[in-house]
Amino acid sequence: MVVQTPNGYTLDNSGKRIVVDPVTRIEGHMRCEVNVDEQGVIRNAVSTGTMWRGLEVILKGRDPRDAWAFTERICGVCTGTHALTSVRAVEDALSIQIPDNANSIRNIMQLNLQIHDHVVHFYHLHALDWVNPINALRADPKATSELQQAVSPSHPLSSPGYFRDVQNRLKQFVESGQLGLFKNGYWDNPAYKLPPEADLMATTHYLEALDLQKEIVKVHAIFGGKNPHPNWLVGGVPCPINLHGNGATGAINMERLNLVSSIIDKCDAFNKNVYVPDVIAIGGFYKNWLYGGGLSSQACLAYGDIPEHPNDFSPEQLYLPRGAIINGDLTQVHEVDVRDPEQIQEFVDHSWYQYGEEGVGLHPWDGVTEAKFELGPNAKGTKTNIKELDEAAKYSWIKAPRWKGHAMEVGPLARYVVGYAQGHEDISDQVNGLLRTMDLPVEALFSTLGRTAARALESEYCGRLQKYFFDKLVKNCINGDESTANIAKWEPSTWPPKSRGVGMTEAPRGALGHWISIEDARIENYQCVVPTTWNGSPRDTQGNIGAFEASLMNTPMERPEEPVEILRTLHSFDPCLACSTHVMSPDGDELTTVKVR
């Protein structure tokens, strides 16, 4: 059957059906089904969250001041971002103004988390879609050294002996049979294009990134009091500052700040010497593989983040841009109002939930999370063992959020497309520089690799912003303002009987919002719309496909039974289904199963 979607895709489900379940190297569980034509080109794509979503239900009736501690446990990756979004929602509801230092510290922590997430995502979750660590064993260390010096002359770790040592370590690891980290690879698939030396260089940086990420997270321990699970506070940040203290009381002093400063420098050096050059070098071998753009050239959404001043989320005061692009018109960036009930709405026509009536969308403040699990008439298998989904009916545990009815892409590429369209100076400089270096037209940005490159550029930009807010913090403290929290409205007796608010952030994976309603000092309703809900959404009432689905369309596969291309594109979104949904079955003991029907 051939279906034309309102957002411009021709879906044809007559060809061979391929099922990838679960998609590996992501947080959470997702499944993907595609139909390929006789040439192996994807002509229909179905993305489904296979986990029940229910994080809202546990917050009902709790103290709003504790909500961050619960939301921090939703996910093993964006803990801090959820906590930040949560305290912002409560502060918005109760009109709490946070001090300037709290704004700087929160920004540093959020930027730090962006860099950590982007680095870990690229090297430890995504690189293996492009890099073949087994092939690295065949590399000549001397030639690898020459490649390294050509790719990044300023990176100090580049001697032949260094690469030989890493290669030996890798060899021992692989020979010991504990392929562990590198299992489930399709290592002889022709979709891998790197020469052995580039594979060894990139695998070496996999290890360097592991060392770096251990350093990066120390910032969270310093400002959050501990890590993992740093502390957060409604009204500010929970760390007092005493610039000239000796640190014995746990306050932030000059010694702690110097440690933060040295970590910020390490992030900068890694972005500059390793991460960005690697993306350019690896991308250079895949310049003919510019698939996977999906909605990025059509419909992008960003809430914006990193405010210059506390509590000021007006777009011109944000370092990460806010705006919406629709219908592929980059000449117009629309303003986004997350409070407007007509703008953001969640639909459930193709999701396993029910509202009072079908075909309506609900704004998160009016959100309802009531399950309704049923398979469509054309589904194959049973409810507990689905062989093939019926995408004409309900088929996912993810809701379908829409902005003014449009399916949107969120995340680093969406932020960069919005910023580029707005003429954002830093972002435009970075993008133009990258395209020049790689000799690619601007259209190349709208691709799987464009998404991966935007993340690297953003990591570099966030590194610079981190330094800016660090300097701002220190300057403000030296000028005598050591305040980090406003607790004037800490006691519920100071609150109105009813209030509601919204917290927004740009999580590493994209726009994140928490909407809260407070009644008699307790949480009455709490709804989260997370980035992967936007990107991984199923079809909506109108039949528009979501960002994951759109990105897979028309991609040719080298070997349909080895879904390297599908994983590559889905991974480029850094999907995180832990928070958009939840574990469905206790019997998920399979590794990736690929079924071709």
Partner 1 sequence: MTGTALVLGIGNVLWADEGFGVRCVEHLAQTATFGPEVTLLDGGTQGLYLLPFLDAADTLLVFDAVDYGLTPGTMKIVEDDEVPRFMGAKKMSLHQTGFQDVIATSQLMGTCPARLLLVGCQPEELEDYGGGLRPVVAARIPEAVRIARDWLAAEGFASADGETITDNLADVSIRHDAYEGGRPTASEACRTGDARFFPKGA
Residue 124 makes contact with partner 1 by CB under 8 A:
yes
Q: Which of residues 210-229 bind partner 1 (CB under 8 A)?
A: 210-211, 213-214, 217, 225-229
Residue with tokens 């639909």: 347
Specify whether the CB–CB gap between 112 and 243 falls below 8 A: no
Specify whether the CB–CB gap between 287 and 379 falls below 8 A: no
Residue 434 makes contact with partner 1 by CB under 8 A:
no
Residue 393 makes contact with partner 1 by CB under 8 A:
no
Specify whether the CB–CB gap between 40 and 580 falls below 8 A: no
Strand partners, 346: 362, 401
Name the segment binding partner 1 (CB under 8 A); options: 58-66, 149-157, 339-347, 354-362: 58-66
Nearer to partner 1, 344 or 523 (CB): 523
Nearer to partner 1, 425 or 587 (CB): 587
The distance of closest approach from Cβ of residue 79 to partner 1 in the complex, given in angstroms and rounded to an integer, is 8
Considering only residues 10, 60, 328, 593, which one is a binding residue for partner 1 as defined by CB under 8 A?
A: 60
Residue 79 makes contact with partner 1 by CB under 8 A:
yes
Question: Which of helix, strand or coil describes residue 379?
Answer: coil
The distance of closest approach from Cβ of residue 557 to partner 1 in the complex, given in angstroms and rounded to an integer, is 26
The distance of closest approach from Cβ of residue 488 to partner 1 in the complex, given in angstroms and rounded to an integer, is 21
At a CB cut-off of 8 Å and minimum separation 6, what does 28 contact?
Answer: 49, 51, 532, 575, 576, 577, 578, 579, 580, 581
Closest CA to 77 of 283, 228, 272: 228
Residue with tokens 């022709």: 190
Q: Is the dihedral of CA 571, 438, 280, 418 positive or negative?
A: negative
Nearer to partner 1, 110 or 343 (CB): 110
The distance of closest approach from Cβ of residue 137 to partner 1 in the complex, given in angstroms and rounded to an integer, is 14
The distance of closest approach from Cβ of residue 179 to partner 1 in the complex, given in angstroms and rounded to an integer, is 9
Specify whether the CB–CB gap between 32 and 23 falls below 8 A: yes
Residue 578 makes contact with partner 1 by CB under 8 A:
yes
The distance of closest approach from Cβ of residue 1 to partner 1 in the complex, given in angstroms and rounded to an integer, is 28
Query: In angstroms, rounded to a whole number, what is the distance separating the alpha carbons of residues 173 and 215?
Result: 24
Any idea what the Cα angle at residue 392 is, between residues 391 and 396, rounded to 5°?
40
Burial 256-269 (b: 16+ CB within 10 A, else e): bbeebeebbeebbe
Tokens read off for 19: 């099922």
Name the segment binding partner 1 (CB under 8 A); options: 35-43, 72-80, 529-537, 561-569: 72-80
Nearer to partner 1, 405 or 492 (CB): 492
The distance of closest approach from Cβ of residue 492 to partner 1 in the complex, given in angstroms and rounded to an integer, is 14
Residue 240 makes contact with partner 1 by CB under 8 A:
no
Residue 520 makes contact with partner 1 by CB under 8 A:
no
Nearer to partner 1, 76 or 161 (CB): 76
Name the segment binding partner 1 (CB under 8 A); options: 8-16, 68-76, 434-442, 531-539: 68-76
The distance of closest approach from Cβ of residue 175 to partner 1 in the complex, given in angstroms and rounded to an integer, is 13
Q: Which of residues 94-113 bind partner 1 (CB under 8 A)?
A: none
Specify whether the CB–CB gap between 79 and 243 falls below 8 A: no
Q: How many residues does the chain have?
A: 597
Nearer to partner 1, 180 or 423 (CB): 180
Nearer to partner 1, 346 or 409 (CB): 346
Alpha carbon 87 to chain centroid distance? 20
The site map against partner 1 for 22-51 (x = CB under 8 A) is -----xx-----------------------
Query: In angstroms, rounded to a whole number, what is the distance separating the alpha carbons of residues 508 and 358?
Result: 33
Residue with tokens 């996910």: 75
Name the segment binding partner 1 (CB under 8 A); options: 41-49, 261-269, 272-280, 364-372: 364-372
The distance of closest approach from Cβ of residue 66 to partner 1 in the complex, given in angstroms and rounded to an integer, is 4
Residue 583 makes contact with partner 1 by CB under 8 A:
yes
Residue 157 makes contact with partner 1 by CB under 8 A:
no
Residue 478 makes contact with partner 1 by CB under 8 A:
no
Nearer to partner 1, 181 or 442 (CB): 181
Query: In angstroms, rounded to a whole number, what is the distance separating the alpha carbons of residues 69 and 230?
Result: 9
Rounded alpha-carbon distances, angstroms, from residue 246 to 253, 254, 473, 475, 554: 7, 9, 19, 19, 61
Question: Which of helix, strand or coil describes residue 535?
Answer: helix
Considering only residues 312, 329, 337, 370, which one is a binding residue for partner 1 as defined by CB under 8 A?
A: 370
Nearer to partner 1, 58 or 251 (CB): 58
The distance of closest approach from Cβ of residue 203 to partner 1 in the complex, given in angstroms and rounded to an integer, is 10
Query: In angstroms, rounded to a whole number, what is the distance separating the alpha carbons of residues 512 and 214?
Result: 25
What does residue 335 show for φ and ψ, rounded to 5 degrees?
A: -75, 145
Residue 257 makes contact with partner 1 by CB under 8 A:
no
The distance of closest approach from Cβ of residue 205 to partner 1 in the complex, given in angstroms and rounded to an integer, is 14
Size of site (CB under 8 A) for partner 1? 57
Residue with tokens 């979503």: 53
Question: From start to end of 179-335, where are the E strands?
Answer: 300-302, 305-307, 318-320, 323-325
Specify whether the CB–CB gap between 478 and 243 falls below 8 A: yes
Cα dihedral value 80, 86, 88, 92, nearest 10: 180
List residues near partner 1 by CB under 8 A. 27-28, 52, 54-55, 57-58, 60-63, 66, 69-70, 72-77, 79, 120, 124, 169, 173, 178, 180-181, 207, 210-211, 213-214, 217, 225-229, 231, 352, 369-373, 383-384, 578, 582-589
